[in-house]
Amino acid sequence: MTTTTNKAWRTICNASDLVKDSGISALIADATGEDEQIAIFHIPNSEEKIYAVGNYDPIGQANVLYRGLVGCIDDEPVVSSPLYKQHYSLKTGRCLQEEQTISVYDIRIENEQVQLFY
């Protein structure tokens, strides 16, 4: 595994690997070379259409967020943790019920490729 790297848009998978209104997970190496799990959600009817956040649920303490249900609360796109059902904003990473935040990543679809900025 490489050690420190510069941030850039990197391809994760094909757009066809996404599941509509649902999540998938990806494994990346962060700036220090550590493994990092990402949850990627594809919500075509929403403004941003695609979102990426950390996969680790700091409340349930497990890597499960990509398996949560997505939706919106007061127009804020959210994922609900499959463990204890707290909502995390997909835009800001903020937890709507408790003092917790998860990391948020820039993500885009370019030429049918899903790309993450890291």
Partner 1 sequence: MNTDKQLLTKTNIVVVGNGMVGHHFVEEMAKNPNYQITVLSAESRLAYDRVHLSEYFGGKTADDLAMTTPEHYEELGVNFKTNAKVILIDKIVQYVTTENGETYHYDKLILATGSYPFVPPIPGKDQDHCLVYRTIDDLEDIANSAKVSKVGVVIGGGLLGLEAANAIKQLGLQTHVVEFAPQLMGVQIDGGGGRLLREKIEDLGVKVHTSKATNVIEKGDTSRYKLCFNDGSELETDLILFSAGIRPYDNLAREFELTLGERGGIVVNNQCQTSDENIYAIGECALWNNFIFGLVAPGYAMAKVVAKHIDGITGENGDIAEFTGADMSTKLKLMGVEVGSIGDAHGKTAGSLTYTYENQPEGVYKKIVVSADKKALLGAVLIGDTSEYDTLLQYMLNAIELPESPEGLILPMAADKPTLGVDALPESATICSCHNVTKGDIIASIDAGATTVGDVKSCTKAGSGCGGCAALVKSVADNEFEKRGVEVKKDICEHFAYSRREIFDIVSVEKIKTFDELLEKHGKGLGCEICKPVAGSVLASVWNDYILKKPHLSLQDTNDTYLGNMQKDGTYSVVPRIAGGEITPDKLIVLGEVANKYNLYTKITGGARVDLFGARVEQLPPIWKELVDAGFETGHAYGKSLRTVKSCVGSTWCRYGVQDSMSMAIDLENRYKGLRAPHKIKFGVSGCTRECAEAQGKDIGIIATDNGWNLYVAGNGGMKPRHADLFATDLDDETLVKYVDRILMFYVQTGDRLQRTSVWMDNLEGGLAYLQDVVMKDSLGITDVLETQMASIVGSYQCEWKTTIEDPEALKRFKPFVNSDKGDSNIQFVTEREQIRPARGQEKIEVTLIDTIENDTETADALAEEA
- Residue among 70 and 95 whose Cβ is closer to partner 1: 70
Instruction: Name which of residues 58 to 117 contact partner 1 (CB under 8 A).
Output: 60-64, 67-75, 77-78, 80, 82-83, 85
Q: Is-contact 91 104, C-beta < 8 A?
A: yes
- Residue among 80 and 101 whose Cβ is closer to partner 1: 80
Q: Which residues bind partner 1 (CB under 8 A)?
A: 1, 12-13, 17, 19-22, 24-28, 34-35, 37, 40, 43, 45-46, 56, 60-64, 67-75, 77-78, 80, 82-83, 85
